[in-house]
Every structure is written in structure tokens, then in C-alpha cells.
């Protein structure tokens, strides 16, 4: 089936469908026993990301189990910093640890944009394998972190509650901060274009910490780098839709699609669907935004919230998703409950 005929791509192009296409952030993840088994065979999380056999397998697992309308390639937003020369490890139960970039000297040690393909080659191979193995109606999503969110990890060397280290560099050494954002932006452009050339039919930019940017800086660091990525990807591949996810953007969600040129905006859990239908969906496709906690609790509350979300977005183009990733404590059976509530 041509990409343009898949339900996911039709919704992203603005078509209002009787039943929205559906997939879930982190759909290949620890809530699935079959993921945990492959993860154990692979050894570390990074060994899983860089092994195309294993990465393709876990990408396909949720498609086999649930028949989602889209698969998202199994990788991580922190592979780009690693490809730029950062040391990266994942500490079991604690999350990522990276070497830090907090000065012009640290920045000078990063590698050039052209070198990222040396590290990221296995990701392109995973994309090729998944593209060849998916059911004909399933769309394939490639992704990267948005530059601000990637920079927060490169600067702090780990996740932080308020992105304080990144904001400190932004205010304290604008020149280095801007150079870092530009390097990540350029690397992200070539990375996404290679994913598309390997078979990705949609790309998504995860700006998980957009909400930590002060309002005065949102345009410069959550909008402008994304606008530049969208323009470059579109010039190379005009038919490939781009989804933007400025998580926590609040009022800055309004206008984000026009300002960046993204084809669709992914809404976090906090966004009121009735407001978003009026202010955002009237202009472009929206994706979201069921509270992932429902996937842990299930029951009537899950069914009610799923149906309310579908109903609120029923008059415009919509891709059903959670408002953030499904968590390791989710019950896989609740995904079936959600799908029945959407598809009948
Ligand atoms: O199924 C999918 O969504 C595709 C794969 C995917 C992963 N990470 C796999 C993963 C995607 C799209 C991501 C994006 C990602 N990675 C983001 C943006 C989205 C978001 O969640 O806000 C961020 C911020 C990261 C960075 C990252 N990766 C952190 C902070 C952690 C540790 C926290 C945790 O959940 O353990 C990861 C690890 C990670 N990435 C896991 C998975 C399945 C869990 C690790 C494991 O299996 O041991």
C-alpha cells in the first residue's frame, strides 16, 4: 500500500476519518513481557538500540500484539548526543548518564555533523528491516529528540527535574549554548533524512522538556530549531509528514504548528481536548492525549476517558495516542480495552 493511503498518513494530511488511527508512545517497552525477554537477551539498553535484529523485533512486537496503525522505530533520542561524541550509558533503574557540555572547551570536543552516520548506521538498518516486515497498512515512524530537549541531557549529563543546568548555560554563555543547539539541529536534519531514505514514512520530534523553557525563550529554542528541521526535511522529502511534540508547552501550543510548519501537533496529558480541538485542530492534525495512568488502572475510567478523547477530536483530523509514554507498570490487557473503545 502506498504511504499516502495508510490511515495514519491520511489523518496527518488532514483527513477526518470515522475511526482515528492509533499508536502509543513507548509502545515497545517494559510493560510487554516479550520486550523484557528481548531486552534481557540484548544485555544493555544501548546494545538493544544498536542491534538491528533485536531493535527490529521489539519495534514489531506491539504491532503483532495489537495491530496499531503505526510502528515507531526502536531507538532513543540520546543516540544523537552519543553520535556527536558524548559518552553515554544507561544506569539500570536510574536513567541516562552522559559526559557534560558546560563550556566552550567541552563543546569544541564534540564531533562534526557528518560523523554521526558512523554511529547511527544500525538505526538506519533497523528502519530498513522494519519497513520490509510491517503489515502493508501500518505506517513507519522515525524520530529524534528536538534540539532543546537533547541539549538539556547533554548539558546536565542526566535527567533533571527543572532543566536548571541547561537554563544556566543558556543565560550564562549564550554563544556556547547557541552553538550546541545549532550542532544538534544540523545533526538531527541529516539523521531524520537518512531514516526517511531507509523507509520511515513519518518523523516525530520529541521536545519532552519544552515546558521547562521560560516563555521569553520558547520561540528561540522550542520553535526556531524545529522550524529549521521541518524546512530541511520537507525540502528533501516533501511528502513526509512531521509531528511535533512540545510537551508542557501550555499556551504556546497555540500557534506552534504555524510557527514551525509541522503537519501535526502531539498533545501532552495536560491539554484540554475541547480547547485543543478549537484552537489547534481547526488548523492541523492533532495527536493525543489520553492520560497514560489509565493504562495502569483500566476499568470504566479508561473506557470513559478514551471515548471522551475520541469524541472531543471527532470533527477534525486526529491520531489517537497517550499524552506521554506508556509506563512499565501498565497492564497489557488495558491496551486491548482502549482499542475496543476506539475501534468498537
Ligand atoms: O516505543 C517507542 O516509543 C520507541 C522508542 C523510544 C524510546 N525512547 C525507548 C526507550 C522513544 C521514542 C524514546 C524517546 C525518548 N528517550 C524521550 C522522549 C520521549 C519522552 O519519553 O519524553 C526521552 C526524554 C528519552 C530519554 C530516555 N530514554 C530516558 C530519560 C530514559 C530512562 C527513563 C526510563 O524510562 O527508563 C530512556 C530509556 C528508554 N528509552 C527505555 C525505552 C523503552 C527504557 C529503558 C529500558 O528498557 O531499560
> Which of 52, 46, 53 has the alpha carbon at shortest distance from 81?
46
pTM (global) more than 0.75: yes
**Is residue 28 in contact with ligand 1, taking CB distance under 6 Å?**
yes
Report in angstroms the alpha-carbon separations of 295 from 267, 276, 333. Answer: 17, 22, 9
User: Over the stretch 33-89, which tens digit does the pLDDT of each residue have?
Assistant: 999 999 999 999 999 999 999 999 999 999 999 999 999 999 999 999 999 999 999
- pLDDT surpasses 90 at 248: yes
What topology does CATH give the domain 3-343? TIM Barrel (3.20.20)
Is residue 205 lining ligand 1, measured as CB closer than 6 Å?
no
Distance CA 70, CA 20 (A): 12
> Mutation test of ligand 1: which of 77, 93, 151, 154 has the most ligand atoms closer than 8 Å to its C-beta?
77
Q: Are 109 and 129 in contact (CB under 8 A)?
A: no
Which of 69, 76, 186, 207 is flagged as catalytic? 76
pLDDT value, residue 14: 97
Length of the chain: 344
Q: What are the pLDDT digits (tens) for 312-335? A: 999 999 999 999 999 999 999 999
Residues 6+ positions from 44 with CB-CB distance below 8 Å = 90
Rounded average pLDDT over 276-289 = 96
The dihedrals phi and psi of 173, each to the nearest 5 degrees, come to -150, 75
What percentage of the chain exceeds 90 in pLDDT? 99
- CB 231: neighbour CB atoms within 10 A? 14
Q: What are phi and psi of 310, to 5 degrees?
A: -60, -45
Percent of the chain with pLDDT over 70: 100
Q: What is the pLDDT of residue 92?
A: 86
Ligand 1 pocket, 81 CB below 6 A?
no
Other residues' Cβ atoms within 10 Å of the Cβ of residue 65: 14
Q: Which atom of ligand 1 is nearest to the CA of 49?
A: 9
Digit-coded pLDDT (tens) for 159-217 = 999 999 999 999 999 999 999 999 999 999 999 999 999 999 999 999 999 999 999 99
C-alpha span between 271 and 230 (Å, rounded): 23
Residue of 121, 116, 118 whose CA lies nearest to 52: 121
**Ligand 1 proximity of 211 Cβ (cutoff 6 Å):** no
Mention every residue, 6+ apart, whose C-beta is less than 8 A from residue 35: 28, 29, 58, 61
Burial of 45: CB neighbours in 10 Å, binned 0-12, 13-18, 19+: middle
> Which pLDDT score, from 0 to 100, does residue 37 have?
98
Q: Mean pLDDT throughout 247-273?
A: 97
Q: What's the gap between Cα 48 and its chain centre? A: 18
The residue whose grid cell reads 549529563 is 157
23 lines ligand 1 (CB under 6 A): no
Q: pLDDT category, 8, cuts 50, 70, 90?
A: very high
Mean pLDDT of the chain: 97
Hey, which residues does 318 pair with through a beta bridge?
Answer: 286
**111: its cell numbers:** 564531533
* Res 3: pLDDT: 96
> pLDDT tier at 32 (50, 70, 90 boundaries)?
very high
Strand partners, 203: 142, 242
Active site residue 153: yes
Structural contact between residues 205 and 152, judged by C-beta atoms closer than 8 angstroms: no
Q: Is the CB of 111 under 6 A from ligand 1?
A: no
Q: Is the pLDDT of residue 296 over 90?
A: yes
pLDDT of residue 237: 98
128-161 pLDDT, tens digit per residue, is 999 999 999 999 999 999 999 999 999 999 999 9
Atom of ligand 1 at shortest range from CA of 247:
22
44's grid cell: 544493555
Ligand 1 center to 125 CA (angstroms): 20
Residue 93: pLDDT over 90: no
Catalytic residue among 10, 26, 227, 228: 26
Amino acid at each position: 500500500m502506498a504511504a499516502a493511503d495508510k490511515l495514519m498518513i491520511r489523518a496527518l494530511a488532514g483527513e477526518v476519518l470515522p475511526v482515528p488511527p492509533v499508536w502509543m508512545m513507548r509502545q515497545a517497552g517494559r510493560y510487554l513481557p516479550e520486550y523484557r525477554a528481548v531486552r534481557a537477551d540484548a544485555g544493555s539498553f544501548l546494545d538493544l538500540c544498536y542491534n538491528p535484529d533485536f531493535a527490529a523485533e521489539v519495534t514489531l512486537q506491539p504491532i503483532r500484539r495489537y495491530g496499531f496503525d503505526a510502528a515507531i522505530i526502536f531507538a532513543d533520542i540520546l543516540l544523537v548526543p552519543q553520535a556527536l561524541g558524548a559518552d553515554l550509558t544507561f544506569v539500570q533503574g536510574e536513567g541516562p548518564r552522559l559526559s557534560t557540555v558546560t563550556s566552550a572547551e567541552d563543546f569544541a570536543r564534540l564531533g562534526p555533523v557528518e560523523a554521526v552516520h558512523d554511529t547511527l548506521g544500525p538505526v538506519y538498518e533497523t528502519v530498513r528491516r522494519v519497513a520490509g516486515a510491517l503489515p502493508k497498512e501500518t505506517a513507519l515512524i522515525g524520530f529524534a529528540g528536538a534540539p532543546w530537549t537533547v541539549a538539556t541531557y547533554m548539558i546536565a549529563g542526566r535527567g533533571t527535574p527543572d532543566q536548571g543546568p541547561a537554563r544556566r548555560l543558556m543565560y550564562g554563555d549564550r554563544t556556547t549554548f547557541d552553538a550546541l543547539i545549532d550542532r544538534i539541529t544540523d545533526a538531527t536534519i541529516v539523521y531524520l533524512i537518512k531514516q526517511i531514505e531507509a523507509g520511515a514514512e513519518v518523523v516525530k520530534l520529541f521536545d519532552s522538556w519544552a515546558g521547562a523553557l521560560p516563555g521569553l525563550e520558547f520561540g528561540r529554542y522550542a520553535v526556531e530549531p524545529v522550524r529549521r528541521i521541518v524546512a530541511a526535511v520537507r525540502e528533501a522529502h516533501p511528502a513526509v509528514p512531521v509531528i511535533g511534540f512540545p510537551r508542557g508547552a501550555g499556551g504556546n501550543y497555540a500557534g506552534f504548528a504555524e510557527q514551525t510548519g509541522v503537519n501535526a501537533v502531539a498533545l501532552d496529558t495536560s491539554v484540554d481536548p475541547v480547547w485543543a480541538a478549537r484552537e489547534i485542530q481547526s488548523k492541523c492534525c492533532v495527536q493525543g492525549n489520553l492520560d497514560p495512568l489509565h493504562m495502569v488502572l483500566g476499568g470504566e475510567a479508561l473506557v470513559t476517558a478514551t471515548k471522551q478523547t475520541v469524541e472531543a477530536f471527532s470533527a477534525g483530523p486526529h491520531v489517537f495516542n497517550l499524552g506521554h509514554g506508556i509506563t512499565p507498570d501498565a497492564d497489557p490487557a488495558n491496551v486491548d480495552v482502549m482499542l475496543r473503545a476506539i475501534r468498537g
